Each structure stands twice: as structure tokens, then as C-alpha cells.
């Protein structure tokens, strides 16, 4: 891990879905956050990485990037997700690299590029998150 998670995040922060899919954030740099996910166990019936699993990876890393950028007194929620699948992943691990397009007071947008073990791009996505005061209920 190059950049550790911020001190204010709970230890081992992840969701039950991330745990089921094997999503792991390996670099917490908010300007270039990186996460991985195994293909095995996350395939659709024809042996390809499931698009829903890919979207989970995108939503997780983008939302975490937005949360880290917003800070401990804010809450973030995804409001738009767009994903394009470019190449099938059938084995190994996929890696997601998340970079900010724009960070604003209330909206942040990220581009997430997903590659296979050979460095070939398998998907690209864009996630927009809304930043709320932590006291607001979603």
C-alpha cells in the first residue's frame, strides 16, 4: 500500500458486498486511488466478469475517493454511474484506478479505468457523488 487510509476512517472500512466480491483498496491516494477485485467468484453464467461486479468495484472506489476528498465531517452518496465494457475479463484480478475529474463543494466526478492482469483495459466508468453534511439523513 503506497498511501494509507486517513486516520479518521474506521479500521478495515469495507461493506459486506465488497467483502463478498473481494474488493480491496490498495492505495488511498485521493488523486489516484487504486483497488483490486478477483474475477473468480464474480463471473456471470458465461464465465466473464459480471458487469454488476465491475460496477460495484467502480462505486466502491469512487465513493471512497469522494469520501476521503470530502473529509470526516461529510457524507457522500453516488448519484450517477456510467460504465462501458471494453474487453472481457475471464480470470485473474482486475485493477481499478480512480482519478478525480472535478471536486466541488457538493458534487465530485471521477473517472475509473479498469484493467486486467495484462494491463489491458476492460472497462471505463464515470461516477458522480454528492457531498452532504454528515448530520443529514439519506
Is 59 labeled as catalytic in the residue annotation? yes
What gap in Å lies between CA 98 and CA 29, rounded to an integer?
Answer: 9
Of 43, 59, 80, 113, the catalytic one is 59
Query: Active-site residues: which are they?
Result: 59
Amino acid at each position: 500500500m503506497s498511501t494509507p487510509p486517513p486516520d479518521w476512517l474506521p479500521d478495515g472500512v469495507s461493506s459486506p458486498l465488497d467483502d463478498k466480491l473481494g474488493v480491496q483498496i490498495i492505495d488511498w491516494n485521493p488523486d489516484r486511488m487504486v483497488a483490486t477485485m478477483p474475477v473468480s467468484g464474480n463471473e456471470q453464467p458465461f464465465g466473464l466478469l459480471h458487469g454488476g461486479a465491475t460496477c460495484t468495484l467502480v462505486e466502491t472506489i469512487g465513493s471512497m475517493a469522494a469520501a476521503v476528498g470530502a473529509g470526516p465531517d461529510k457524507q457522500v452518496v453516488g448519484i450517477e454511474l456510467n460504465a462501458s465494457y471494453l474487453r472481457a475479463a475471464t480470470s485473474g484480478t482486475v485493477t481499478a484506478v480512480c482519478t478525480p475529474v472535478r471536486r466541488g463543494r457538493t458534487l465530485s466526478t471521477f473517472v475509473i479505468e479498469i484493467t486486467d492482469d495484462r494491463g489491458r483495459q476492460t472497462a471505463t466508468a464515470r461516477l458522480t457523488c454528492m457531498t452532504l453534511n454528515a448530520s443529514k439523513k439519506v
